[in-house]
Amino acid sequence: MKLEKDTARKLTRDIIISLFIYALPVVLMLLTFYVNGQRPWKEKTTATILNNH
């Protein structure tokens, strides 16, 4: 029993759309950081350095 052509086409289309959905929260997060001028990854590095002293 083979995968129907129409099903295969829809699967391919929806998988491509999914890749954008996977990326969406990350993109929105980075956009928020950009707009607000936040750099949380740097804050963490600073805190680690301070803790080491």
Answer yes or no: are the C-beta atoms of 33 and 40 closer than 8 Å. Answer: yes
Does 50 help bind other proteins (rule: CB under 8 A)? no
Does 27 help bind other proteins (rule: CB under 8 A)? no
- Find the binder of other proteins among 5, 15, 49, 52 (CB under 8 A): 15
Q: How far apart are CA 14 and CA 16, in angstroms?
A: 5
Site residues (CB under 8 A) for other proteins, limited to 30-49: 32, 40-41, 43-44
Phi/psi for 2 (5° steps) reads: -100, 160
**DSSP, res 4:** P
CB 53 to other proteins: min, Å: 20
